[in-house]
Structure 1
Amino acid sequence: MRILVMGGTWFLGRAVVNGALARGWEVTTFTRGRSGVPVAGAVAVHGDREQPSDLTALAAHGPWDAVVDTSASELAPRTVLDGAKVLAPQAQRYVYISTVSAYRGWPDEPLSVESEVLDGPPDADADYGRLPPDWTGPDYYYGRQKAGAERAVLAAFADRASVLRPGVILGPGEYVGRLPWWLRRAERGGAILAPGGPARTIQPADVRDVAQFALDQAAESGLQIHNVTAPLGRETWGGFLDACLRTTGSTGRLVWAPDEVLLNAGVQQWTELPLWRTHAGAWAVDSSTAFAAGFRSRPLVETVADTWAWLQQGNLPVPHPRWAEHGIDPAKETSILEKVS
């Protein structure tokens, strides 16, 4: 197999490249060359996806059996469409990494691949779906952009495409900072504010498992659309946080706070206590079609242990502003702990 990875130096893209090379595939990566270190063994092509001349130059390096697109999270659908059109004659297949945010019902209701996808035309620009500053209702901007990008890929590749919709992806190399924050908090010990209850389920997927499934899809045929999460009901908050304690050798003690206590204290969902969200559908994503197609999801305890080992080796993720968004101020945590202890 000969593949092109759009991205390839960060987190998921890097895992895709490493996985492809381990299979003996030939790999070309396309990045701007501004961050991350190219993976040894891959052909690195530098350019900007928003520059038509750079896309034309990239196409000259083809043909490929497949494109795996891991770097379109902040690109407008129109940019994805322009690139897909240029690459369509040079690639047999396109695997696009989207997100469950593309569904109209996320995170408020359970989801399957049959759930309604948000509006978002394939030629939309970056302003499509933006809301006025005083808007107080749901903000579907990101989801509409991703839904439009999905349609852009399908417009260019039709039934030669796979659209994968992960939820949260964790593992070695994570640049968002969710799992690393919990690991560092566990390491610090003491009374640790834990959200909700230990039996509540969660569904993060390991970056290496998502990468392997994307590569499997690169060798598939026909139109494929899959959610990509850990199985429903297998992982729990209690299991996750216990794994963080055991992995770090912590003597910390989990203190569980009900949702209403956290909400009344103004704790920001998703960020101050990373991964905590009260919405009914946040961790209710049916990925059964992916499992039927060969997706394998390792236990979350392995992801926790391997991420800690990665951090202990002195590794740092590619710098990203989202890292700073995660984690509760120690003084605020102490104030809430005093109410529930």
Structure 2
Amino acid sequence: MRILVLGGSGFVGRSIAELAAARGDDVTVLNRGRADPPPRVRALTGDRQTPGGLDALGDATWDAVVDTWSADATVVAAAATALQGRAGHYTYISSRSVYVLGEDRLVPHDEPGYAGDKLRGELAAAGFGGPLLLARAGLILGPYENIGRLPWWLNRLHAGGPTLAPGPRDLPLQYIDTRDLAAFVLDAAATARTGPFDLVSPPGHTTMGELLDITNEVTGNHADLRWTDPDTIIAAGIQPWTHLPVWLPPGPLHTALHGSDVTPALAAGLRCRPVRETITDTWTWLTSLPDGAPHRADRPAVGLDPQIEATLL
């Protein structure tokens, strides 16, 4: 297939471009050129937020387009309109954040922030006018992560010593490995699959205990995990998700993020690798980087201040 990835140098976009090239597809990526592209792809430079940002595409055609944009939806609208009649299929990488917390309905069209941007991105992608897949991903982990969630835990447990482990140990987690997301998207493009799909592992794919136990093992068993109940953590002013990445205490928000029914996606071919593989491969990638994991400038830093952790323990 001839595939165009709008993005293609970081995290999900890179995983898609890399897998497509490994499968033998003819891959083109368009981005601002701030990072080296994956091997065996054609790299075009363009800033989609500026006039003429798509000019490098010329009049070329593709079998499939994958758009990873996550901010202002006018950028998605411009690409979808420009590629009308020039591609056989369009995928927009969206998010399960488009749902109202704990409900099956979507957030309002004027919802501010990330959720609203993703929903408006979905609506803008419809301007493509052809087969459209909306990939509503949940928590994404794996190599190339530039948000910092799993990399933070890997580095923290490698540092070792008494380590705050947020309980309960059997707290179920759902996420999707970036490479499994890439495989679903590429397979769906090849079969012209359309519609929205919630893309995350089945409920109970892993637990907080398994995630941290394997992370500790993979990084050398340096950490003494001190499992702590959620009320104690919250009372100490420690913020779920940001101070302790991935973790949310039991409650409505946790249920919304980690209680998804993904039966349609599984029936459509979604396959999720074991959590050990995701952790091991992310650690291998992370330790290969001379300057540590990259971090997106538009996302806040995550992680717990060592002194706050020590005080609570």
| TM-score, shorter chain, exceeding 0.5 | yes
Letter in 2 for 1:67: V
Paired position in structure 2 for 1:327 = 303
| Post-superposition offset of 1:59 | 4.3
Paired position in structure 2 for 1:195 = 166
SS at 1:15 equivalent: helix
1:59–1:87 CA contact under 8 A, matched in 2: no
Paired position in structure 1 for 2:269 = 294
Q: Aligned equivalents of 1:90 and 1:55: distance in 2?
A: 13
Q: Aligned equivalents of 2:183 and 2:193: distance in 1?
A: 19
Q: 1:323 to 1:48 in 2, by over 3 A?
A: closer
SS at 1:98 equivalent: strand
Name which of structure 1's ranges 291-300 and 251-260 shifts more when overlaid on structure 2: 251-260
TM-score (norm: length of structure 2): 0.93
- Aligned 1:1-341 pairs, distance under 5 A: 1-33=1-33, 35-60=34-59, 62-70=60-68, 72-74=69-71, 76-105=72-101, 109=102, 115-120=104-109, 129-130=111-112, 141-158=113-130, 160-278=131-249, 279=253, 280-314=255-289, 316-321=292-297, 325-337=301-313
Q: Aligned equivalents of 1:50 and 1:313: distance in 2?
A: 32
2:286–2:293 CA contact under 8 A, matched in 1: no
1:93–1:157 CA contact under 8 A, matched in 2: no
Q: Aligned equivalents of 2:286 and 2:56: distance in 1?
A: 37
1:195–1:262 CA contact under 8 A, matched in 2: yes
Provide the identity percentage.
38
Q: Aligned equivalents of 2:205 and 2:304: distance in 1?
A: 27
SS at 1:54 equivalent: coil
Deviations 1:279-334 (A, max 9, x none): 23121122221111111100111111111111222354434236762111111111
Q: Aligned equivalents of 1:55 and 1:312: distance in 2?
A: 35
Q: Aligned equivalents of 2:242 and 2:79: distance in 1?
A: 33
Deviations 1:61-96 (A, max 9, x none): x210010112x112x122211210011221111011
SS at 2:134 equivalent: strand
Letter in 2 for 1:325: A
| Post-superposition offset of 1:223 | 2.4
2:46–2:55 CA contact under 8 A, matched in 1: no
| RMSD of aligned residue pairs (Cα, Å) | 1.7
Q: 1:187 to 1:242 in 2, by over 3 A?
A: same
How many residues are matched? 308
Deviations 1:229-284 (A, max 9, x none): 11111210000000011101123221111111111111112111111113231211
| Post-superposition offset of 1:191 | 1.6
2:244–2:304 CA contact under 8 A, matched in 1: yes
Large movers: runs of 4+ above 4 Å: none
| Post-superposition offset of 1:185 | 1.2
SS at 1:301 equivalent: helix
Q: 1:222 to 1:251 in 2, by over 3 A?
A: closer
Q: 1:317 to 1:184 in 2, by over 3 A?
A: closer
Q: Aligned equivalents of 2:180 and 2:206: distance in 1?
A: 16
Unaligned 5+ runs, structure 1: 121-127, 131-140
2:208–2:247 CA contact under 8 A, matched in 1: no
SS at 1:321 equivalent: coil
| Post-superposition offset of 1:3 | 0.7
Deviations 1:202-251 (A, max 9, x none): 11211111111111111122522111111111210000000011101123
Unaligned 5+ runs, structure 2: none
Letter in 2 for 1:10: G
1:171–1:207 CA contact under 8 A, matched in 2: yes
Letter in 2 for 1:22: A
Name which of structure 1's ranges 315-324 and 232-241 shifts more when overlaid on structure 2: 315-324
